Amino acid sequence: MITEALLTLTENIIIPFSVWPEGDYPKANGLLDFDIFYNVTGCLRNMSSAGSDGRKAMRRCDGLIDSLVHYVRGTIADYQPDDKATENCVCILHNLSYQLEAELPEKYSQNIYIQNRNIQTDNNKSIGCFGSRSRKVKEQYQDVPMPEEKSNPKGVEWLWHSIVIRMYLSLIAKSVRNYTQEASLGALQNLTAGSGPMPTSVAQTVVQKESGLQHTRKMLHVGDPSVKKTAISLLRNLSRNLSLQNEIAKETLPDLVSIIPDTVPSTDLLIETTASACYTLNNIIQNSYQNARDLLNTGGIQKIMAISAGDAYASNKASKAASVLLYSLWAHTELHHAYKKAQFKKTDFVNSRTAKAYHSLKD
């Protein structure tokens, strides 16, 4: 269908209905029935799940991404974030953002990586596991700028543009449709996966330029488990950035602790959510004594210990993540007295289970 129908659907339905590039108001033309546009975007939504080759073909389709972005921005401007075709459009963009950095055409990836390669080459011999020099290198690596953002993006360039990042955050804040929320969070999750310059740049835009943490943290408290899981996965990606960790801790630490259950999670979705919450906490406490102290003061360590202990017969991802977090917490020697005062022992943090989990993580 991508081979035979994509271009026809884009040229005859998607572009005319979105009135890209001429119009400012997507649904004002009256040339097409809305249900036709809705059904075609639903078709493209399914097609965008076709895998790597399908994603590449859809990204190359002239006018497709431009029209989808134009339509969604129009519905947001018209205070209609719950428009049902908007959900389809955002789900398409979510799928097209998957593996984006790895699948970009060479003309983009060469541009994006050239400065990054230079820094890696210059510092390659000095990178250790936990030393201060490796931290400095990592900070330098994460400060590599993206190529200058284009004021008039076209096609695939929209997918990582700050305008579209702002668009996703608006939908997270304003839409009540679970799939629209999840797709917007998921697109940001895709764009912040990895440690190259693109994910780093997008993460900094979300946290520092667009104040996106306030919207993301609210999604940790929604009823839909899939939305919650995607929100915490986004936070986990964001928390890998050293320069953002203190801000993430300040805004979200109590929320992260609150979504960790009191007992070992049993469903796959809850296991994934709990593991991501523990790994996010692990990222934000590793380099900060104060963040570790704040975690202690939330009273959440008891829950983390209960999950770390797990089920002797069925250790899972959540138990492993909780064990890694406990081992990291003991590394803050300044807190040993505070732990003792809170009735904790060294063996609560460092034991065969937590040591095995911690050392099994190879960056």
Alpha carbon 10 to its chain's center:
29
Q: Locate the domains of the chain by residue range.
A: 1-108+156-240, 254-362
- Rounded to the nearest 10°, the torsion over CA 329, 137, 159, 99 is -70
Q: Return all residues near 316 (Cβ < 8 A) that are at least 6 apart.
A: 264, 265, 271, 275, 310
pLDDT of residue 19: 81
Q: Count the neighbouring beta carbons within 10 Å of the beta carbon of residue 57.
A: 16
Q: Are the beta carbons of 201 and 155 closer than 8 angstroms?
A: no
Q: Are the beta carbons of 319 and 308 closer than 8 angstroms?
A: yes
Angstrom distances, CA of residue 193 to CA of 7, 46, 70, 230: 30, 23, 25, 12
Find, among 155, 41, 148, the residue nearest to 91 by Cα.
Answer: 41
Find, among 45, 37, 41, 47, the residue nearest to 16 by Cα.
Answer: 37
Angstrom distances, CA of residue 175 to CA of 17, 168, 211, 234: 22, 10, 18, 18
Tens-digit pLDDT profile for residues 251-286:
999 999 999 999 888 889 999 999 999 999 999 999
Q: Are the beta carbons of 210 and 165 closer than 8 angstroms?
A: yes
pLDDT of residue 313: 47
Q: Are the beta carbons of 199 and 193 closer than 8 angstroms?
A: yes
pLDDT of residue 111: 59
Q: What angle do CA 107, 108, 110 make, to 5 degrees?
A: 70
pLDDT of residue 131: 32
Angstrom distances, CA of residue 218 to CA of 16, 117, 168, 275, 279: 36, 37, 14, 19, 19
The CATH classification number of 1-108+156-240 equals 1.25.10.10
Find, among 95, 86, 94, 116, the residue nearest to 52 by Cα.
Answer: 95
pLDDT of residue 257: 96
246: which 2 tokens? Answer: 């203190």
Each residue's pLDDT, cut to its tens digit, for the chain (363 residues) gives 999 999 999 999 999 998 877 655 445 455 578 999 999 999 999 999 999 999 999 999 999 999 999 999 999 999 999 999 999 999 999 999 999 988 887 666 555 554 444 434 333 333 223 333 334 434 444 444 454 577 788 999 999 999 999 999 999 999 999 999 999 999 999 999 987 888 999 999 999 999 999 999 999 998 899 999 999 999 999 999 999 999 999 999 999 999 999 988 888 999 999 999 999 999 999 999 999 999 999 989 999 999 999 865 456 899 999 999 999 999 999 999 999 999 999 999 999 999 999 998 854
CA distance 343 to 322: 19
pLDDT of residue 143: 46
CA distance 323 to 284: 16
CA distance 291 to 360: 24
CA distance 65 to 69: 6
3: which 2 tokens? Answer: 């081979």
Amino acid in position 137: V
Find, among 72, 226, 96, the residue nearest to 157 by Cα.
Answer: 96
The backbone torsions φ and ψ at residue 42, rounded to the nearest 5 degrees and listed phi first, read -65, -40
Amino acid in position 142: Q
By the 10 Å C-beta count (0-12 exposed, 13-18 middle, 19+ buried), 61 is classed as buried
Give the predicted TM-score (pTM) of the model.
0.87
